[in-house]
Amino acid sequence: MSRKIVAGNWKMNKSIAETHALVQELNEMARAWPSDVKVIISPPMLYLTQVAVNVEDNLHVAAQNCHAEKSGAYTGEVSAAQLKSSEINFCILGHSERRQYFGETDASVNAKVKSCLAEGVTPIVCIGELLEERETGKEFTIVEAQLRGGLKGLSSAEIEKCIVAYEPVWAIGTGKTASSDQAQEIHAFIRTKLAELSSQEAADKISILYGGSCKPANSKEIFSKPDVDGGLIGGASLNASDFNALINSY
Ligand code: 13P
């Protein structure tokens, strides 16, 4: 099985009409995508079910968050079980924006990861250090703590079902990308830690995506690194031709 994935995180962007238009454009491009690259888009929660019934077979749909409980009195929330029942099979968890603005912690990410796995939804677990953490040489410590916290208590078989996204916070939406060597260094470290938490065999199967100002101009170089298995793309995923170029940059 190929580890290659290009995932688009649309964040809180686009109206329903704009969403349909972008999905239509992507559907038309989907036939030409390499068969060994899994392509995922993550529109706002409100549009997920409409998008899921309108995408080509090789275009997958992810939520940007979910609640850890299966059901109950949690006004405004959506559970992993509800995602699964709407045929949404992927869920981004622990994005730095959720950590920064919505109080997401490693413990809450961990509870959500468990709930996704219990429902058969693949979690895309986001980790990454802040600028001041990198400037003070703490990036490896932070990334390891987030990884261990997010995957705490999971069996090796469960860890193998996760996708990990390394997104240095200083590179998100800033136009500042990690160099391909910086990305490779952290990705290799993450794979070593995944092997410690599960097994080398499991770690070798897990996709580790890079996120942070990834665009057609730099994706070829970043994706060429052995432990970079693709990207979690923000801004450039909102434009069909940019996203298409990213997918075809493999
Ligand atoms: P940008 O590609 O816009 O930097 O965003 C990255 C991101 O946060 C993807 O989840």
| 81-113 pLDDT, tens digit each | 999 999 999 999 999 999 999 999 999 999 999
pLDDT at 38 over 90: yes
pTM: 0.98
CATH number at residue 10: 3.20.20.70
pLDDT at 1 over 90: no
Q: Is 206 in the pocket of ligand 1 (CB under 6 A)?
A: no
Give the pLDDT confidence score for residue 162 in this predicted structure. 98
Q: Is 125 in the pocket of ligand 1 (CB under 6 A)?
A: no
For residue 232, the ligand 1 atom closest to its alpha carbon is 9
What is the C-alpha to C-alpha distance for residues 134 and 151, in angstroms, rounded to an integer?
22
What is the C-alpha to C-alpha distance for residues 155 and 244, in angstroms, rounded to an integer?
36
List, for residues 210-247, the tens digit of each pLDDT value. Answer: 999 999 999 999 999 999 999 999 999 999 999 999 99
Cα four-point dihedral sign 173, 179, 184, 190? negative
Q: Which range of residues forms the domain containing residue 70?
A: 4-247
Give the pLDDT confidence score for residue 237 in this predicted structure. 98
List, for residues 120-175, the tens digit of each pLDDT value. Answer: 999 999 999 999 999 999 999 999 999 999 999 999 999 999 999 999 999 998 88
- Residue 31's φ and ψ, nearest 5 degrees, are -60, -30
What is the C-alpha to C-alpha distance for residues 87 and 194, in angstroms, rounded to an integer?
28
DSSP three-state, residue 3: coil
The residues, any chain, with a CB within 8 Å of residue 212's CB and separated by 6 or more, are 128, 167, 168, 169, 170, 171, 172, 174, 176, 177, 178
List, for residues 165-201, the tens digit of each pLDDT value. Answer: 999 999 998 888 889 999 999 999 999 999 999 999 9
Q: Which residue's CA is the nearest one to ligand 1's atom 2?
A: 234
What is the C-alpha to C-alpha distance for residues 215 and 241, in angstroms, rounded to an integer?
11
Q: Taking a C-beta distance cutoff of 8 angstroms, is the pair 229, 4 a contact? A: yes
Q: Domain count of the chain?
A: 1
Q: To test ligand 1's pocket by mutation, which of 6, 10, 11, 64 has the most ligand atoms within 8 angstroms of CB? A: 11
Cα(175) to centroid(ligand 1), Å = 10
Give the pLDDT confidence score for residue 216 in this predicted structure. 96
What is the C-alpha to C-alpha distance for residues 10 and 153, in angstroms, rounded to an integer?
30
Q: What is the largest CA-CA distance in the chain?
A: 47
